[in-house]
């Protein structure tokens, strides 16, 4: 199961277990449920029942990178190529570049060329390197 974390509800913001449920999640990122853990169950105010903790992993991101980037490289991606009013914005995954701005990422795979009017770019699968 893969899900996109969309943030907290009002009930979650007021909950004493908030950090256990939301502490390591970032809005807009995709996560994969790996397995149920043996951790302590908590009462969920939103669902009105016990919640079971799961181990999750961050899914690789689809990002834009300079055309010269190599698979396996660890880098920081910049967003200097974007221009206001760009006609490609509806097709562009640059929002994910903004989410990882100033964080190191490892390029897992080059997916292909992205037709950007400003710069030679490629779509890549990448993971955040802590």
Average pLDDT score, the chain: 87
Q: pLDDT (tens digit, 9 = 90+) per residue, 10-45?
A: 889 889 989 988 988 988 889 999 998 887 888 998
Same domain, 119 and 65: yes
Choose the final residue of a domain: 13, 33, 58. 58
Q: Are residues 98 and 68 located together in one domain of the fold?
A: yes
Q: Domain check: are 66 and 101 in the same one?
A: yes
Is the pLDDT confidence value at 122 over 90? Answer: yes
Burial status of residue 105 (CB atoms within 10 A of its CB: 0-12, 13-18, 19 or more): buried
State the pLDDT at residue 130.
Answer: 76
Compute the average pLDDT of residues 80-104: 76
Q: Are residues 81 and 116 in the same domain?
A: yes
Domain co-membership, 24 together with 49: yes
- Domain termination site, one of 22, 42, 58: 58
Q: Per-residue pLDDT for 88 more than 90?
A: no
pLDDT (0 to 100) of residue 68: 93
Cβ atoms within 10 A of the Cβ of 109, count? 12
The residue from 11, 36, 58 where one domain ends is: 58
Q: Is this structure's pTM higher than 0.85?
A: no
29: left (phi over 0), alpha (psi -120 to 50) or beta: beta
Q: Do 70 and 54 reside in the same domain of the chain?
A: no
For residue 39, the enclosing domain spans 2-58
Helices (H) then strands (E): counts for the chain: 3, 9
Mean of the pLDDT values across residues 89-102?
74
d(CA 106, CA 130): 10
Structure tokens at 39: 């951790």
């Amino acid at each position: 199961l893969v899900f996109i974390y969309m943030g907290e509800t009002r009930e979650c913001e007021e909950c004493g277990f908030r950090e256990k449920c939301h502490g390591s999640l970032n809005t807009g990122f995709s996560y994969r449920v790996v397995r149920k853990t043996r951790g302590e169950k908590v009462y969920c105010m939103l669902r009105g029942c016990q919640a079971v903790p799961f181990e999750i992993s961050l899914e690789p991101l689809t990002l834009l990178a300079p055309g010269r980037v190599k698979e396996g490289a660890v880098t920081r991606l910049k967003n200097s190529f974007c221009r206001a009013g760009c006609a490609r914005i509806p097709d562009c995954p640059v929002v994910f570049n903004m989410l990882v701005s100033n964080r190191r990422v490892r390029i897992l795979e080059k997916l292909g060329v992205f037709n950007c009017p400003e710069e030679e770019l490629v779509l890549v699968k990448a993971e955040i390197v802590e």
